[in-house]
Amino acid sequence: MSDEQQAESADESVDADTPDDVEEEAETESSGLQDGDFVRLAYTVRTTDDDTVVDTTSQEVAEEAEIDTENYDFEPRVVIVGAGHVFEAVDDDLIGKEAGYEGTVDVPADEAFGEYDSDNVRTVSADKISEDDRYPGAHVNVDGDQGHIETIIGGRARIDFNHPLAGDDLEYDYEILDVVDDREEQAKGLLGMYLQQSPEVWIQTDEVEEEMALEGGEDVDPDEVETETVTEEKETLYIEATPQMTMNQQWMFSKQQIAQDLMTRLDIDRVIVQETIDGMGMGGMGGMMGGMGGMGAGDIEDALDDVDVDADEIVDELEAEGDDGHDHDHDH
């Protein structure tokens, strides 16, 4: 066989194999997790150098690391693949994986919280810091920048505005527990990611009345446009707010963005946040005047008996004082 014939034969072989190879590669890429999938992760993040726990979903790991466990729910988190909810290196590692997979991803400092920058250490006037926060180690906000005080002498404070983990390489251990398809579970999981706590949620379809403008032509005065009431179905996510949630700073400052993200991700029409305030009783000073707390007439008489006071005597004294008052009015 000539060299030319061998070349043609090789080309034909490549052409014959290429479709199968492409199909196999496409199948591999499309199997497993893909961008946009909701997934529940258990994970622990540590610094590579000294094995310090940075973040975890494990209560046991948090307690061993002496992390405050009172204000957070340590439980697996729901994230959306490719949405930036985890480090980019972890997002990339999730693609194509299946539930039950366990893995470790090394995240270099520049892809985690950035390299340490000495230019981010500045000296500022102590007047810009609350008096309660004027001590080394205090976390402060100065002109919109977050930092921690290194030293404070006289009227000057040296503040490091680098992220506390700047310059640290991280090790991200994770396990894919399951893929979350239920939208209520997705909503609860996203709220848990944003707020570190998961309130009760449910989705239902409501009939909502809305005013719709009728077409009246270009010459119609906008103030005189006729409307009609129409009833539309709106898919609604209800969130039962907890006292902890209403005091959560992330929720207080970002509730609009969080709600919008939920509507977009879950393809729902609106979000309604409900807050239930339970009756705690009026206490000793509530209800009727004098701290009677809403006692009935019989209760009042019983109370007077306990302190050896005759109710009839009190009434007589009040009436006598009233008569004296009228006499004084006449004198004036």
- Ordered by start, the domain boundaries in the chain are 38-112+168-176, 118-160, 182-213+226-275, 291-331
Percent of the chain with pLDDT over 70: 72
Whether CATH 3.10.50.40 fits 38-112+168-176: yes
- Is 30 or 2 the better-scoring residue by pLDDT? 30
Query: What is the DSSP code (8-state) at residue 126?
Result: G
Q: Are 46 and 171 in contact (CB under 8 A)?
A: yes
Confidence of residue 220 (pLDDT cuts 50, 70, 90): low
Buried b (16+ CB within 10 A) or exposed e, 29-50: eeebbeeebbbbbbbbbbbeee
Given a contact cutoff of 8 angstroms between Cβ atoms, the answer to whether 149 and 156 are in contact is: no
Q: Is 264:255 a contact under the CB 8 Å cutoff? A: no
Instruction: Give the pLDDT band of residue 41 (cuts 50, 70, 90).
Output: very high
Confidence bin at 289 (pLDDT 50/70/90): very low
**HSE-up of 140 (CA within 13 Å, CB side)?**
28
Q: Does 3 score more than 60 pLDDT?
A: no
Q: What is the pLDDT of residues 150-181, one digit of tens each?
A: 999 989 999 999 999 999 999 999 999 999 99
Q: Using CA atoms, how far apart are residues 286 and 290, in angstroms rounded to an integer? A: 9
Mean pLDDT of the chain: 80
Among residues 58, 169, 48, 194, the alpha carbon closest in space to that of 116 is found at 169
CB burial class (10 A; 0-12, 13-18, 19+) of residue 231?
exposed
3-state secondary structure of 326: helix
Edge-first strand order for the sheet with 156-160 is 121-125, 156-160, 145-153, 139-142
Non-local CB neighbours of 63 within 8 Å, separated by 6+ positions? 69
234: its two tokens: 């709106």
- Tokens encoding 190: 């996203």
Q: What is the pTM of this model?
A: 0.65
Give the per-residue pLDDT at 293: 43
State the Cα–Cα distance between residues 196 and 192, nearest whole angstrom.
Answer: 5
Domain at 182-213+226-275, CATH class: alpha beta
Determine what percent of the chain is predicted with pLDDT higher than 90. 52
Per-residue pLDDT at 292: 41
pLDDT tens column, 244-264:
888 888 888 888 999 999 999
Pick the CATH number of 118-160 from 2.60.40, 3.30.2420, 2.40.10, 3.30.1490: 2.40.10
Element (H, E) at 17: helix 3-30
